[in-house]
Structure 1
Amino acid sequence: MYTTCIFCHGDLGRNEAIEEFPVGRRLAFDGAKGRLWVVCRRCERWNLSPLETRWEAIEACERAFESTRMRVASDNIGLAKLKEGLELVRVGDPVRQEFAAWRYGDQFGRRRKRAVLVTGAVGTAAGAVVVGGTIAGFAMGGIFPGLFQGAQAWYRDRVLLRLRDEHGDPIRIQRKHLYTSRLVPSPDASGWDLRVDHIPGWDKWGKTRKRKNRRHTMIVHGSEAIGLAGQLMAHANRSGGARKAIRAAVERIEEAGHPEAFLPGAARSAMRDFSGSGKADLPAKKVENLMKPLPGTLAGLKVDMRLAIEMATHEQAEREALEGELKELEARWREAEEIARIADNLFVPDSVDDFIAGERSRIDDDLPKGAPTG
């Protein structure tokens, strides 16, 4: 049973209401299409379940939904909250606008509120520093710029994702890489690829050699591009979006007719913005020290375009999974579990690992020969 979000690698939590599927604090289900999602309460992304037992779980969700009085519903989508605290979202056959309002409005709205709160808190803290420094008689003209530059460097260098490249080598993608990574048209111009900047290794504490921290670029294709683009766009859209922007994003997809048809057009549009910016050939040093995203990059697109790409990649990934690629989806869950365990271990000092190894060795030495060691 998987317990980790495939997007942010956070814990999905547990519930005691659905015995057939005890994972998650909010479940969404579509009985007609046999879809079951776990909604991550940390990043608000919908994790499509690859489990073969989903039909039994969907039936249990349907029974629980019908049995509770605490529910609201339209013709196509309903929301119920069980007394155990589990929230259920029942999806019928909604038009795209209504489905987007339920599926994406919540997560984008939460991100927007969170961004406003964080911005306000940072502004308050900065004001307190200035006032405190003035009262104390400090020369804030020299201190405050240094603090600001340090905060910017920390923000740009923050690791967003740890994954493996096409050779199986560990890499990490930082926030500043969103300033240069972008969708690009495929060589035959009928599809799209993802051009991603990154640096080697998973260690963000400087244990890798400095020469290995140089920026690298890889081109990701096909299903891998869809999955990775969805993850990166969630970070590019960390500030969420207002209802107007969400509606505009949905309209972009509807104009293309389908998410699969929208993405190649989005790649061509991004290429035009990037090529026409006059910044396509910046020196490496300037690229490394960018303070804002370049036009046409994942973080440099208009808000509604960014939201539309996140919606489209998410829905496209699910469509492929439902067309027989559940093994790939399951592999992504396994990778999320692996990376979550690695991230946990990064916070464990070497002395703890040495102590555990020593204790195991001592116990093995104390056991009589032939005794079981399990």
Structure 2
Amino acid sequence: MYAACLFCDAPFPGNEALESFPVGRRVAFDADRGRLWAVCRRCERWNLAPMEQRWEAIEDAERLFRDTRVRVSTDNIGLAKLREGLELVRIGRPLRPEFAAWRYGDQFGRRRRRAVTAGGVGAAAAVVAAPIAVPALVAGLWSGGIFVAGYLAGGVTVPYEMAKEWLLSERVIARVSLGDPADGAPDADIRVRHLRESTLLQDGADGVALRLQHDGGETDLRGASATRALGALLARANAWGASAGQVRAAVHAIDERGDALGWLHAAARRSSRPGGRVMAEWRRVGALALTPVERLAVEMALHEEQERRALEGELEVLTDAWRDAEEIAAIADSI
């Protein structure tokens, strides 16, 4: 078993995920041809494992690859990153990338627990009315039609209806760039009502764009600008997290569309449907004219698409390296 790269002599770090082949942090395998490589991260050369060490490790690597929920594949090669830090490169017929509830269950569950702990039942009731996240301190107390809100008015008692209007409509919940900050794009304050009035748009290349309402009017954002803005807005809209049932429902919505990109297209159609605001009132939805479960699924899908594209950037390099390694392996196995 290798301790160092055969090409540059760099030592291989160990891995604890693949017990039958604990060599390196990137392992490539081809189950059909029975080949296994340790990939050197210094020189990126593929070190073919001895024949007697391959079969059990290949079986284990295949099982780990199938159990990994975040992965990306092309026609010839797949890449998966395990939580233990090991990267698996799978050569051969790819598996369809999957989206699993466990990845987001902890994330949204923690949000939910923090919100409930901070705000209690009163704040939770305010959130139901507002359809987006509400800071716990403004849950407020009222008596005889008067809203007591030291947080809102510096200790001054203000009329309940005025405070309610601020809380559910005029409160600034985010500040986002209306384009690429590197190009000097201006920032805009986004209020509660803007988030309800903004809609997703379909974008063939990037999956989703954003028609954003703000104090200055309306701006269509696409590409990285849309992704950045949506990240900020969805973090507020979904700040109260989700139950395990809601997470499962969001994952199911994505699975029904085949993948994250398919769901983003579907969510954009729902958000920007003709007469969407009337339909939104009837469906009792809030931010982006989507239900809470639909918004959770959009946030998940955006994460998935960002990771997929980052992985795909590595796949092109991996494919070239695999072709070179395959030639060497074919010669070695024929001796």
Using the size of structure 2 for normalisation, the TM-score is 0.50
Q: Which is higher, the Rg of structure 1 or of structure 2? A: 2
Using the size of structure 1 for normalisation, the TM-score is 0.45
| Structure having the larger proportion of residues in strand | 2
Q: Which has the higher contact order (CA 8 A, sep 6+)?
A: 1
